Chain A
């Protein structure tokens, strides 16, 4: 599903974030991406989400060569990738419902379908009663679950998360990880960057560890 082949990423300041990285994630697999801060975890996820492009080497996602994807196709590609961030990236002037509905509105879904799928996604993350709230009125864990609902609402085959539990206490972190496992169980490929080793080690999933831009 996700394949890196000899991927280098060098930033304009000559810092090399990834050096000749190769690995592959199967369809329907769930894996953790670990390593110290600065090891290249975020850069790796940005390459998959096409927020950055590789300097060298090739990235394949869902049988698509990202190196060759023209710029105007990026939005359509991103609609098939669910993204979850440490700081949620929610819009604070819109309700929970409107935040989760955003990817569907962008994709041009019709009104009834949007309502149905937003409620289904909120139900799955346990926030069905909060659809009229503003994000600011929710706790950190709840905000993160809104972020997850938004990431899965258009049923992407791939779900990426960058430190999704970074700001949460251990119990909430465990709940969030459990949520990701549930999505994985229905066939979604899940790839989570995290340095919460204690939590990760308690779960039986593959770990990809980076050290200075290479596999450790």
Chain B
């Protein structure tokens, strides 16, 4: 008997679920508009989140490439410089070194700047010899890097040890600010989804006041009255989430060509990762949670006002 009741209970839920979907199907224009509003409101923060994740991914690649430039004193002979480089290579926290003599530096600068004639007028080479150091991958923690930097700075031949990190830290700060901004945007847009669904359900309730009264007269509980509206919210949220996913997919397909071309111009291995699988689960799930919640709030407010008279 109990088993039969449970069976009936689920059958009943399934029926209400399909009935609610049928009701939405019968008003395609209104349903489409509501679902689109929800979809766009969900797609916006999701898109920004994907953007942020990609920027993070790129900056973590750069992180690997962080390097220390060791400017030696001007008068250090090449011989000593090379020796020093080989010595540094034996340090456990250094992965690779590259020695660049003052002459090489000048040649490189000549190449890159195009200031040939101007450089010719200089009495002697103003550039120092440089050792470019690749720290060991495990040494990327800020403190370890700082200690390595200090040790390098204190060496006799070294004029200046410079870590090319500042701009990376700036980028991180910008990222962090962006993350917070997106969080707030996501909260506000979720709230608007909640309100849109709540208001739509409110109108549906007002349209069906007579029905609700009759159901209550023949012994319908509040839960029974509430159920179809909750499923309506469920469908709105689920479909809105699906639309958001599609919007995201199309947008990223649209921009992925230029972005990947840009990346290849920078010789980067980067490809746009649009988190498709993750979003395929997250967006509809988030949508339906908001949908049911919005419906619940709306029904809760209005259910008790509608009593038989």
Contact = CB atoms under 8 A, between A and B. Distances in A.
Interface of A: 49, 51, 72, 75-79, 83, 89-91, 102-103, 105-111, 150
Given A91-B211, A111-B11, A106 B217 contact: no
B113 interface: no
B210 A91 contact: yes
A130 B9 CA distance: 29
Interface string B194-236: 0000000000000000110111111111101000000000000
B4 A79 contact: no
Contacts of A76: 219, 221
Q: Is the interface of B mostly helix, strand, loop or mixed?
A: helix
Contacts of B11: 110-111
Contacts of B224: 75, 106
A106 B215 contact: yes
Contacts of B218: 78-79, 83, 102-103, 106, 150
Given A91-B210, A106-B224, A108-B8, A51 B219 contact: no
B252 to A, nearest CB: 43
Interface of B: 4-5, 7-9, 11-12, 210-211, 213-222, 224, 307-309
Contacts of A110: 4, 7-8, 11
A77 B9 CA distance: 20
Nearest to A50: B308
B8 A75 contact: no
14 contacts: A75-B221, A75-B222, A78-B219, A79-B219, A90-B214, A102-B214, A102-B215, A102-B218, A103-B219, A106-B224, A108-B5, A110-B11, A111-B11, A150-B218
A106 B4 contact: no
Nearest to B223: A75
Contacts of A107: 219
Contacts of A105: 12
B214 A91 contact: yes
Contacts of A79: 218-219
Contacts of B308: 51
A16 to B, nearest CB: 19
A111 B12 CA distance: 10
Given A51-B309, A75-B220, A105-B12, 14 more contacts: A51-B307, A72-B221, A75-B221, A75-B222, A77-B219, A78-B216, A79-B218, A79-B219, A103-B219, A106-B215, A106-B218, A106-B221, A109-B8, A110-B4
Nearest to A103: B218
Closest 5 pairs (CB-CB, A-B): A79-B219, A78-B219, A75-B221, A103-B218, A106-B220
Contact of B214 (A51, A89, A108): A89
